[in-house]
Amino acid sequence: MRYYVALFVFITVWVLMIVRIYHLSIKSNYYYTQLAKENILRTEPLKPVRGEITDKNGKLLAMNRIGFSVSIVPHMKTTSDEFKRAVSLLTRTFPELNATEMSKVYRKHDSPYNHKFIKVVDFIEYEKMISAYSTLSLHPEIRIEAETKRYYPYGRYAAHIVGYTGRSNRKENAEDKVVDIVGKVGKSGLERYYNKVLEGELGYVVNKVTATNKTVETIERVPPKDNKNLKLHLDIALQKMIYDTFEESNETGVAIVMRTTGEVIAAVSYPSYDPNLFVGGIGYKAWRALQEDLAHPFTNKFIHGTYPPGSTIKMGMALAFDKASPGILSHSEYCPGYMTIGESKHKFRCWKHYGHGTVGLRKAIRESCDVYFYNKSLKVGIDAMAKYLRSFGLGVKTGIDLPREFNGVIPDKAWKRKRFNSGWFKGETVISAIGQGYDAVTPMQVARYTALVATGNLVTPRVVDIVDGNKTKPVIKPIYFDPSVIGEIRKGMYDVCNSKKGTAYRALHDLPIIVAGKTGTSQVTSIPQSTVRRIKEEDLAYYKRSHAWITTYAPYDDPQFVVTVLVEHGGHGGSTAGPIAAKIYRWLYKHRYFKAYIPGEN
């Protein structure tokens, strides 16, 4: 028995030894071979230069400033005289540098396993470095390398479109090799949406090095693929003019100028912010100020702001009525200034206290009669209304080439059941018919849907014209409408801007081109039934005033441009948003935008 136990132990020991020998000599051979090669050959990535962003005329909206980074040789104690001399030299040369901060960064990245120079200064401008470069280069413990830093020449004017870059986090580094090496990534706007294009592709260099990481010979060098640029449809001169107009009038809001083919040539969200604050990392106080500003400068209001559309929805509502119940619009409605439902005494009022009398479709658009749409909505129902409005681009994403676009809401019975676990009421149908209640859309959706009303084509808005040398193509979806119905709606929109009874006549009737449009006043607070006469908007507290809309197209007989303006808490669309739209059209006319136009060219 002892013999078998001894034999078993003997065999087991030899098997373990053989397995171990196999692992060391054969299995681990590849690992140690690669490790040996790494001790001889060192592959280092070459960072690509981030692509630039320009407007339609070639003006730089996002560029790279040339400068230098500063690194210090590893494996030094921060208390050593050698390290202190290096840091002292840097602070004497560049007084704005902080010795304590550089030491902190060095300690964080230094380790016995790191043989690479440790970057202690991310960026020093070219002009500051160039006079000191030769002196600093004589010190073997300091390495100066070329570096770029993102810069936005027009700052706040295009911040919500261009966006900004910032320091990448662990998740972003793990998802993208270029981001991991560069340490910067697009955080918002086009910088984020087109990050994969703008960042380019890494190159690399293979060097033969000594054990102390000193380069002996360059074996291979593959340059990075960079300078992948974007050219926009945007005209920064128009963008700046609109922004300054909001600033001068001390109003907050949105203005969008878009070709009827979907090309966005201006989109302003006011107020804005300076994207250059974020490039090197924004300070706590500056970030808190942005977050606590009640005007929400950090919010991109034309795709992230959702508002009741008010009467701007009425063209789409009329088209939805006709789609759901053909022929329904051929019958007039009578407006005594209000309507009731069934035996209820609750009055759903028209904006005009004495009513509009007998109202047909064209008059309903021109004078924005609420009762006309109240009555038609009860005959069609909310589900059909919602179905067709969404097909016209309201309450759904437009598909614009900007990140994190919001949907908004065009409600129906299923939506309310899911959202509130409650049934739908006829009164909710009535107020939805005039763009109130649960209705919430983005200004970009309104601009897109206005282009549909003007041309019969549902387009996808596009900010970028050329991506890395490749021209983008328009996305256009034709939608059929009864010619007599869409014709009457367009005539009503013509009247809004050109008839003395039109709600935007005062602001838009005397322009050098003929404009058609629709105003809207979207309430933010309800009006009690006991109120006989409404308080004037200008007499209300600011945050209780209605939002002021106007959405237009021009020329009337050859639609080329859509101009949509929203003034937050502006009161009436015709008197507040209308003058801004008029100023935009005058600018477009003066700068010869109205001419024979081939899509994609200008």
pLDDT (tens digit per residue) in 156-183:
999 999 999 988 888 998 999 999 888 8
Q: What is the mean pLDDT of residues 439-453?
A: 98
What is residue 213's predicted lDDT score, i.e. its pLDDT? 64
Q: What is the mean pLDDT of residues 66-87?
A: 87
Written as six digits, the tokens of 524 are 């933010």
Written as six digits, the tokens of 261 are 């083919």
pLDDT-based confidence at 31, cuts 50/70/90? low
| Structure confidence by residue, pLDDT tens digits, 468-521 | 999 999 999 999 999 999 999 999 999 999 999 999 999 999 999 999 999 998
Interior angle at CA 303, CA 236 and CA 259, nearest 5: 50
What is residue 543's predicted lDDT score, i.e. its pLDDT? 60
530: pLDDT strictly greater than 80 = no
Give 454's contacts (C-beta < 8 A, 6+ positions apart). Answer: 260, 490, 516, 553, 559, 562
Place of tokens 């200004």: 443
Tell me whether strands 357-359 and 457-459 are parallel, antiparallel or unpaired. unpaired
Domain boundaries, the chain: 46-232, 236-590
Q: What is the mean pLDDT of residues 68-76?
A: 88
The alpha-helical segments, DSSP class H, found in 167-325 are 170-175, 177-182, 189-193, 195-198, 236-249, 276-279, 284-292, 301-304, 314-324
What is residue 571's predicted lDDT score, i.e. its pLDDT? 74
Buried b (16+ CB within 10 A) or exposed e, 384-412: bbbebbbbbbbbbebbbbbbebbebbbbb
528: pLDDT strictly greater than 70 = no
pLDDT-based confidence at 191, cuts 50/70/90? very high
What is residue 211's predicted lDDT score, i.e. its pLDDT? 63
Which percentage of the chain shows pLDDT scores above 70? 90
Cα–Cα distance, 364 to 372 (Å, whole number): 7
Yes or no: say if 313 and 381 are a contact pair by the CB < 8 Å rule: no
Buried b (16+ CB within 10 A) or exposed e, 132-141: beeebeeeee
CATH 3.90.1310.10 assigned to 46-232:
yes
**Residue 299 C-alpha from the chain's centroid:** 9
Q: What is the mean pLDDT of residues 438-456?
A: 97
The alpha-helical segments, DSSP class H, found in 421-456 are 426-432, 443-455
199: pLDDT strictly greater than 90 = yes
Compare 354 and 450 and report the one with higher pLDDT: 450
Written as six digits, the tokens of 303 are 């795709």
Cα–Cα distance, 139 to 83 (Å, whole number): 12
pLDDT-based confidence at 529, cuts 50/70/90? very low
What is residue 30's predicted lDDT score, i.e. its pLDDT? 59
What's the sign of the alpha-carbon dihedral 249, 250, 253, 256? positive
Q: What is the mean pLDDT of residues 245-263?
A: 95
Strands (E), 9-141: 41-46, 53-54, 60-72, 118-125
Strand partners, 520: 549
What is residue 168's predicted lDDT score, i.e. its pLDDT? 86
pLDDT-based confidence at 553, cuts 50/70/90? very high
Range scoring the smallest mean pLDDT among 4-8, 127-131, 553-557: 4-8
Q: What is the mean pLDDT of residues 94-106?
A: 88
What is residue 215's predicted lDDT score, i.e. its pLDDT? 73
Range scoring the smallest mean pLDDT among 311-315, 331-335, 478-482, 569-573: 569-573
What is residue 27's predicted lDDT score, i.e. its pLDDT? 56
Cα–Cα distance, 411 to 291 (Å, whole number): 30
Q: What are phi and psi of 31, to 5 degrees?
A: -60, -50
290: pLDDT strictly greater than 90 = no
Compare 585 and 215 and report the one with higher pLDDT: 585
What is residue 269's predicted lDDT score, i.e. its pLDDT? 97
Q: Nearest-CA neighbor of 254 among 508, 596, 570?
A: 570
Cα–Cα distance, 414 to 429 (Å, whole number): 13
Q: What is the mean pLDDT of residues 182-202?
A: 94
Burial of 457 per CB tally in 10 Å (0-12, 13-18, 19+): middle
What is residue 376's predicted lDDT score, i.e. its pLDDT? 97
Yes or no: say if 246 and 237 are a contact pair by the CB < 8 Å rule: no
pTM: 0.85
What is residue 226's predicted lDDT score, i.e. its pLDDT? 87
Range scoring the smallest mean pLDDT among 158-172, 272-286, 365-379, 502-516: 272-286
Q: Distance between terminal CA atoms of the chain?
A: 99
| Structure confidence by residue, pLDDT tens digits, 382-412 | 999 999 999 999 999 999 999 999 999 999 9
Q: Quickly list DSSP for 114-133.
A: --SPEEEEEEEEHHHHHTTH
What is residue 380's predicted lDDT score, i.e. its pLDDT? 97
Return the CATH number of the domain spanning residue range 236-590. Answer: 3.40.710.10
Cα–Cα distance, 11 to 323 (Å, whole number): 88
